[in-house]
Copies of this chain bind each other. A is one copy, B any other.
Amino acid sequence: MGKNRLEAFSDGVIAIIITIMVLELKVPHADTLAALRPLLPIFLNYVLSFVYLGIYWNNHHHMLHTVQHVRGGILWANLHLLFWLSLIPFVTAWMGENHFAAAPTALYGVILLMAAFAYWILQRTIIAAQGRDSLLKAAVGRDLKGKLSPLLYLAAIPAAFFEQWIADGIYVLVALLWLVPDRRIERAFKNQDN
């Protein structure tokens, strides 16, 4: 069974999630530049969530590149990931409207943690389906980033209740960590060819 529809459906859902967030940038009634100031935290949060969704789409793109056959388990693990990603616009809006208050900031970490967990499940499901010579397994390797990110989210969630800027800083840090180009999968393909 092909993977085209799985990719197309995931692309569609992520494209909608990424675009729906912009609806939370409510148009101000006044027509002055000053009227934009209250939107600044919402805007910054939009940027952060946009980057996170971009990272997920990017990694999803690479991960599915190693997949040949899609089975029921992969379909549901993928839907599970999309479920947690679909909650990002909600928590982004809540966080932005409350100027990065404690509870929304912590919930942001929870959603990111659940999404990371869902991504990990999808990765395990694909590796299990590929069997012993799993290309994805070779590509992922020790998966340092994948193991570090949830730990950082776990630290950020309680930190939000003490000093929310620490939590926000951690979210930005993890995003930067993933923005650094990750050549593992490309390298694994090359190694396979040699």
A residues in contact (CB < 8 Å) with B:
1, 5, 7-9, 11-20, 22-25, 27-29, 31-33, 35-36, 47, 50, 54, 57-58, 61, 65, 71-73, 75-76, 79, 82-83, 86-87, 89-90, 93-94, 97-98, 101-104, 106-107, 179, 181-183, 186
Contacts and interface: CB of A to CB of B under 8 A. Distances in A.
Contact of A103 (B32, B98, B179): B32
A19 B22 contact: no
A33 B54 CA distance: 28
Contact of A72 (B16, B71, B93, B181): B181
B18 A13 contact: yes
- Count of this chain's copies in the oligomeric assembly: 4
A183 B1 CA distance: 13
B15 A102 contact: no
Contacts of A35: 103
A104 B35 CA distance: 10
A46 to B, nearest CB: 9
A122 to B, nearest CB: 14
Given A13-B19, A50-B86, 18 more contacts: A1-B65, A5-B61, A9-B15, A9-B57, A12-B12, A16-B19, A22-B89, A22-B90, A23-B89, A25-B87, A31-B102, A33-B103, A50-B79, A57-B79, A58-B75, A71-B186, A73-B181, A76-B179
Contact of A54 (B47, B79, B98, B106): B79
Given A25-B90, A31-B102, A104-B31, A12 B5 contact: no
A31 B98 contact: yes
Looking at A15, A22, A54, A186, which has the most chain B CB atoms within 10 Å of its CB? A15
Contacts of A29: 97
B23 A20 contact: yes
A103 B20 contact: no
